[in-house]
Amino acid sequence: MSDLIKIAVDAMGGDGSPKKIIDGIIHHNKSNKNIFYKIFGDEKKILNCINNKLDKSFFQIFHTDKKVESTDSPLEAAKRGKNTSMWLAIESVKNKDSDIVISAGNTGALLVISKLNLKMIENIDKPALSALWPNKKGMSVVLDLGANIECSSKNLVDFSIMGASLYKSLYPDDKANVALLNIGSEELKGNETIKETFQLLNKKKSEDFNFSGYIEGNELMNGNVNVVVSDGFTGNVALKTAEGTANFIISELKNAMTDSILSKISSFLNMSNLKKFKKRLDPRLYNGAIFIGLDSPVVKSHGGTDYIGFSNSLDVCHRIIKGNLIDKIKHNLEI
């Protein structure tokens, strides 16, 4: 077990748990034999879901019948106690018994309990919530997505370093191209904070990333930039807008392809291309937001995803540890 990457899993968070969580682990284990899953939650329910479908050499269950509820405020979640599945999973990382922690549970609670248990990386003032977005050329890392409503220029520079380090951990063969999300591409556009950040990043030299200046919202998917940085308010609005647009396009396309006999015939003839299009926008493929800035990585799976989505977020955990994310951030902060 000592050679395996150890992932602490909160099995009781999110819709349809623990079954969805366990099915995701079973699916992930089929193609990943170098992972050991430390599973926190109700042992009886978890074993019923495993049902001998997972080799005992790949997992260990840590029983608790207490969990953070989806309706809990962050303060209520913290007060609920240190015996919840979420708290114990995070504590496993704190004690260095696990390499990384993942939960599909309450986002606010996960952020607060993580901050209560884990130290910040030295010289990082605020952690950020980041996620993967598709673009024309592959994938982008986008941050902050809501952890920090107000940010200083130092915070945005830190987010740039952390985002670039995350991208290099996930895609070690690619160069990270960083840009600041802004209302225009001209150097004089934006508020004083973002203009100051522009000047600071322009002077920063790093072997891990290039600074590409500003990027506007309509350019997020063109792929020329693969690390997009903003404050949490702007980033969250951009995220929800992108999600809503993707859902709208898929819904309207489905309606257009089924509203007449001719449309149905046309959609049948184009079934292969339609499947490719749908897969490209499938949110399960990009599941797994990353809470970075703490001295151990924390991954948040979408609470409403299915077992395929959770399995994909486990893969993000695997790649983060394999790519030495924390060491990369520390190295880039020193440059």
CATH topology of domain 125-286: Isopropylmalate Dehydrogenase (3.40.718)
Q: Across all residues in the chain, what is the average pLDDT?
A: 88
Residue 131 has pLDDT above 70, yes or no: yes
pLDDT 10s digits, 66-94 = 999 988 898 888 887 789 999 999 999 99
Question: What is the pLDDT, as a whole number, of residue 268?
Answer: 57
Bridge partners of residue 176, in order along the sequence: 209
What is the pLDDT confidence band of residue 184, given thresholds at 50, 70 and 90?
A: confident
- The band of 147, judged by pLDDT with boundaries at 50, 70 and 90, is confident
* Average pLDDT rounded to a whole number, residues 7-12: 97
* 1-124+293-335 and 125-286: identical CATH topology: yes
Q: Is the pLDDT of residue 290 over 70?
A: yes
- Distance between CA 29 and CA 32 in Å, rounded? 5
Q: Using the predicted structure, report yes or no on whether residue 286 has a pLDDT greater than 70.
A: no
Q: Look at the block and give the residue holding tokens 């060491």.
A: 327
SS3 sequence of the chain: CCCCEEEEEECCCCCCCCHHHHHHHHHHHCCCCCEEEEEEECHHHHHHHHCCCCCHHHEEEEECCECCCCCCCHHHHHHCCCCEHHHHHHHHHHCCCCCEEEECCCHHHHHHHHHHHCCECCCCCCCEEEEEEEECCEEEEEECCCCCCCCCHHHHHHHHHHHHHHHHHHCCCCCEEEEEECCCCCCCCCCHHHHHHHHHHHHCCCCCEEEEEEECHHHCCCCCCCEEECCHHHHHHHHHHHHHHHHHHHHHHHHHCCCCHHHHHHHHHCHHHHHHHHHHCCHHHHCCEEEECECCCEEECCCCCCHHHHHHHHHHHHHHHHCCHHHHHHHHHHC
CA–centroid distance for 257 within its chain: 33
Provide the sign of the torsion angle of the four alpha carbons 92, 96, 98, 102, taken in this order.
positive
Q: How many degrees, rounded to 5, is the angle at CA 268 between CA 263 and CA 272?
A: 125
pLDDT of residue 277: 54
Please determine, for residue 176, whether its predicted confidence score (pLDDT) is greater than 90.
yes
Confidence check: pLDDT of 130 > 70: yes
pLDDT of residue 146: 86
- Per-domain boundaries in the chain: 1-124+293-335, 125-286
Residue type for 237, please? V
Average pLDDT over residues 184-207: 84
* Residue-level pLDDT at 142: 94
Mean pLDDT, range 105-128, rounded to an integer: 93
| Amino acid at position 192, single letter | E
Is a pLDDT exceeding 70 seen at residue 9? Answer: yes
* CA pair distance 107, 69, nearest whole angstrom: 11
Q: What is the pLDDT of residue 240?
A: 80
- Which residues on adjacent β-strands are paired with residue 139? 134
The reply to whether omega before 18 is within 30° of 0 (cis) is yes
CA distance 164 to 210: 9
Say which CATH architecture domain 1-124+293-335 belongs to.
3-Layer(aba) Sandwich (3.40)
Evaluated on CA atoms 46, 8, 40, 147, the torsion sign reads: negative
pLDDT-derived band at 155, boundaries 50, 70, 90: very high
Question: What is the C-alpha separation between 39 and 244, in angstroms, rounded?
Answer: 33
Q: Model pTM?
A: 0.86
pLDDT on residue 293: 95
What integer pLDDT is reported at residue 120 of this predicted model? 94
Residue-wise pLDDT for 220-265, tens only, equals 888 899 999 999 898 888 888 877 777 777 677 677 666 666 556 6
Residue 282, pLDDT above cutoff 70: no
User: Tokens 């998917």 identify what position?
Assistant: 221
Looking at residue 81, its pLDDT comes to 76
pLDDT band at residue 209 under the 50/70/90 scheme: confident
β-strand pairing of 227-229 with 138-143: parallel
